Structure 1
């Protein structure tokens, strides 16, 4: 059994996963029968798993996902939804993040857009990517305020470093003056560099009219529609009964 000084040294080295594994081994007769190399391999793996869990917890906390419980494994594959299982399975591999691609999820209220976007974002966090979820109108309001207090450039730079930016409820409200240009700058920083996931009740073909400025609209849509993965959800609402707000997986 290791003495307290050794355990203290392991904690000082931040090998907390290994400390926990040693505590388990101390009470396990099976562990004592293993060769030194086998026990060492188990300790190292436990440390790796512990660090991975801590990193995922940190990434998910920073992501601020609206539906924190959403995950790929719980997707509702009901035929009426129009989900392409092959496409979603491929997206779960997160190559779209590595290649800085865009995902566009459209559909009526309650069809599961937000839930699916959070599931894909959570999958990206599982693979070590940084994620941020935000409602589009709220982010544009935040950027408008940032112009006033002089923090716009700094905030834009912060957003540009995020691996996966989820813009929920895109085209959900009329745009305020200046917001088109802010949106263009935001997306221009990401094109070809970072991945973006957009959800909207409005069909993609109607976004140009919503932007209400042909020149800026052309520039924005060129950045998010070209080579994007598109998912158009169909079917009845999946919202829970009795006024609950979250979109469910089943």
Structure 2
């Protein structure tokens, strides 16, 4: 019971331990033979934006869908532009069937306002 409380405390938003835990999960998966990629969300979005600029977006997206596990760290640090939200949506849908770990200092219920209304599907729970 005490161990469960420690884990819950470590996973609370704002504690800063989410990165450490996600890295540990990634290392464990690598030891089991999985391919893992770890990125800060802001860098991932900047990389995809560069793909729009130099017309390599499809190639960059394929590279991000390849690993068995993709870890996106520090999700939700700032509001997303429409293009960033669309890119993130495309990445998540292309990764169907593959694992995705998001770390954030925000509670999941605070994520919805980060997206522009035209990006989100009407009827999604808020």
TM-score range, shorter chain: 0.7 to 0.9
Structure 1 residue aligned with 2:35: 130
Tell me: CA distance 1:106–1:157, structure 2 relative to 1, closer, same or farther (3 Å).
farther
1:80 is displaced (CA, Å) by 4.6
Structure 2 residue aligned with 1:189: 94
Which of 79, 83, 88 pairs up with 2:5?
79
Structure 2 residue aligned with 1:119: 24
TM-score relative to the length of structure 2 = 0.85
Structure 1 residue aligned with 2:54: 149
Is the Cα contact below 8 Å between 1:164 and 1:197 reproduced in 2?
Answer: yes
Is the Cα contact below 8 Å between 1:170 and 1:200 reproduced in 2?
Answer: yes
What SS does the corresponding residue of 1:217 show, helix, strand or coil? coil
Q: Name which one, 1 or 2, has greater alpha-carbon Rg.
A: 1
Tell me: CA distance 1:106–1:159, structure 2 relative to 1, closer, same or farther (3 Å).
farther
1:78 is displaced (CA, Å) by 7.7
Mind listing any 5+ residue stretches in structure 1 that lack a counterpart? 1-76, 84-104, 223-250
- The alignment covers a number of residue pairs equal to 122
1:106 is displaced (CA, Å) by 5.3
Is the Cα contact below 8 Å between 2:51 and 2:60 reproduced in 1?
Answer: yes
What SS does the corresponding residue of 1:82 show, helix, strand or coil? helix
Structure 2 residue aligned with 1:140: 45
